[in-house]
Amino acid sequence: MSKELAELLFSKIDKSPEDYESIYPKRNLKEGAMVTRLGPSPTGFIHLGNLYGAFVDERLAHQSGGTFYLRIEDTDDKRFVEGAVDTIIDSLEFFDINFDEGASKEGDKGSYGPYFQSQRAEIYQCFVKKLVEEGKAYPCFMTEEEIAEVRANQEANKENPGIYGKYALNRDLTLDQVKAKLEEGLPFVIRLKSDGVSGENAKQISVEDGIRGVLTMPENFQDTVILKTTGIPTYHFAHVIDDHFMRTTHVVRGEEWLSTLPIHVELFTKLRFELPIYCHTAQLMKIDEEGNKRKLSKRKDPELSLDFYKEMGYHPTAVREYLLTILNSNYEEWRKENPELPCEDFPFTMEKMSNSGALFDLNKLNDVSKDTLVKISAADLYDFLLAWAKEFKTEIVSLLEEDKEYILRILDLDRDGNKPRKDFVCASQMFEYISYFFDKHFKLEDTMPMETTEEDVKKIVARYLESYDHTDDQSQWFDKIRKIGAALGYAAKPKDYKKNPDDYKGHVGHVSTVIRIALMGRSQSPDLWGIQQILGEAKTRERLTKFK
């Protein structure tokens, strides 16, 4: 009877399960090679949490000599967004996450496709048919109203909600009953006929998770929908079929899937497929407005979309470094010992991953970013800044292109030696930070120190300009400032002023701040002398003259 039913429901399916086993044979990879995948739904929205997970997949596969592929999980047509696939690929590529196989801008790549679930209906249906044949799945015609009624009853009786056991009204329909309903043209879904039981008699299943160790949970008992009215499977079924036939060895996914794991285990078992190794990652969290820890969410956290980092101009390497520090707690230590090695050399392990959700920490990212950027050459930094500007700050592109040499010197200011400056965090901040070098962006931002008077300020600038010699070395230059200050009643050494504040108006630091503001518009900057050398004599004099 099951066979007839299966034939009735899926008359168009001509391939057999065995056919697919040979179409998608086991991959010929070396021992220990992992096959991982990213399975985004095509909303086109990728956030830091996705990148976090993708990074795990990527590292695992590439570190082991395996394969990392992209599969588009578009079983929910309501979610489709045009151009989403390209967006996903671009976003990930920016952060150096590259796929070996799967959906790509040039179409499917690899021999385990199609890589869009919406194009795999035949494959899924073949196995749904098989399950029906074996009496492990059945058509269900229950209407929304019927389901709602069941639920209401269950709630009233304090029973587990869902379609299972005696509540699965269409579980044991006869062939004739099915035929009759079909003739009426009633829509139906295919449900799994679960062997599990609800409540105290439920069996416990154990699954070894790559990150969390042995997980023990009650078996599934729900007659979960595996094929929707549309003939497209639900995530659960598509996952099982795809990861089996794409020969995924490690399923890395967020912990929100933990509670549906028993469904997947039952499906794998009923299909007689080997279970992949599941790796359930903790979710990245953030603190919301009410001060609660919360999962990063697509709708509420646009600032945590990957685009945010691109727009701010965070360097992809910095983001990777940061992610690695929260992914594997021993990464920072390793990085300290191996400052020059690429992060790909770090032996990434699942066991070192945290089981609890990390809170995203912008402070930490900034710190990691400073350390990352300080290791990047001025030339590369320039290219990065320019590329960023072309996309997000076009008005400064010509400025950057006009005099590359000038900018290289600015970017390299005081970055050598064993105590290099670490001024740069991200592209937007970089430009802001060096903007005073450009007349167009130069403006007076800070006020003169309160230790100085208006009159003194004028005198200081005038005398400084008068004595200015561009060929002075740093100490000659600074001696002059000391003298100018001393003549006006400012201590030549800050310590003298601190000891006897009443003897002086201020100290040489205040004097140089005056010059700094006159020259840069700001009270804080890298070494003044070095800046003047880059600015050049003409511009230095010009700014001082203008200031008077």
Partner RNA sequence: GUCCCCAUGGUCAAGUGGUUAAGACGCCACCCUCUCACGGUGAAAUCAGGGGUUCGACUCCCCUUGGGGAUACCA
Footprint of RNA on 235-274 (CB under 7 A) = 235, 255-260
Q: Does 506 bind RNA (CB under 7 A)?
A: no
**Which residues fall within 8 angstroms of residue 146, CB to CB, at 6 or more apart?**
169
- Interaction with RNA in 338-357: which residues (CB under 7 A)? 352, 354-357
CB nearer to RNA: give 16 or 356. Answer: 356
Alpha-helical (H) ranges within 397-507 are 397-402, 404-411, 427-434, 454-467, 474-488, 494-499
Alpha-helical (H) ranges within 157-234 are 175-183
Structure tokens at 353: 């991953």
CB nearer to RNA: give 14 or 77. Answer: 77
Contact by Cβ (8 Å): 374, 420: yes
- Cα distances from 445 to residues 506, 516, 518, 524, in angstroms, run 22, 11, 10, 10
Q: Which one of 525, 534, 535, 547 is in contact with RNA (CB under 7 A)?
A: 525
Q: x/- site string to RNA, residues 367 to 386, per CB under 7 A?
A: x--x----------------
Q: Does 98 bind RNA (CB under 7 A)?
A: no
Structure tokens at 297: 């969410």
Q: Which one of 225, 378, 386, 397 is in contact with RNA (CB under 7 A)?
A: 225
DSSP symbols for 55-108: HHHHHHHHHTT-EEEE-B----GGG--TTHHHHHHHHHHHTT---SEES-TTS-
CB nearer to RNA: give 63 or 260. Answer: 260
Of 275, 285, 276, 232, whose CA–CA distance to 254 is shortest?
285
- Interaction with RNA in 118-177: which residues (CB under 7 A)? 143-144, 147, 151, 158, 160-163
| Helices and strands, counts by H and E, the chain | 23, 14
CB nearer to RNA: give 97 or 168. Answer: 168
Q: Does 496 bind RNA (CB under 7 A)?
A: no
Q: x/- site string to RNA, residues 172 to 201, per CB under 7 A?
A: ---------------xxx------------
Q: x/- site string to RNA, residues 296 to 335, per CB under 7 A?
A: -x---------------------------xx--xx-xx--
Q: Which one of 234, 248, 369, 452 is in contact with RNA (CB under 7 A)?
A: 234
Q: Does 17 bind RNA (CB under 7 A)?
A: no
What do you get for the CA distance between the two ends of the chain, in Å?
100
Q: Does 215 bind RNA (CB under 7 A)?
A: yes
Q: Which one of 33, 217, 408, 465 is in contact with RNA (CB under 7 A)?
A: 217
Q: Does 75 bind RNA (CB under 7 A)?
A: yes
DSSP 294: E
Structure tokens at 242: 């795809």
CB of 70 to RNA, least distance (A): 13
Contact by Cβ (8 Å): 411, 387: no
- Cα distances from 528 to residues 445, 452, 456, 465, 540, in angstroms, run 17, 19, 20, 14, 11
CB nearer to RNA: give 29 or 359. Answer: 359
CB of 312 to RNA, least distance (A): 17
Q: Which one of 96, 316, 529, 533 is in contact with RNA (CB under 7 A)?
A: 529
Q: Does 445 bind RNA (CB under 7 A)?
A: no
Q: Does 478 bind RNA (CB under 7 A)?
A: yes
**Which residues fall within 8 angstroms of residue 414, CB to CB, at 6 or more apart?**
420, 421, 526, 527, 530
**Which residues fall within 8 angstroms of residue 174, CB to CB, at 6 or more apart?**
1
CB nearer to RNA: give 466 or 479. Answer: 479
Q: Which one of 212, 250, 264, 320 is in contact with RNA (CB under 7 A)?
A: 212
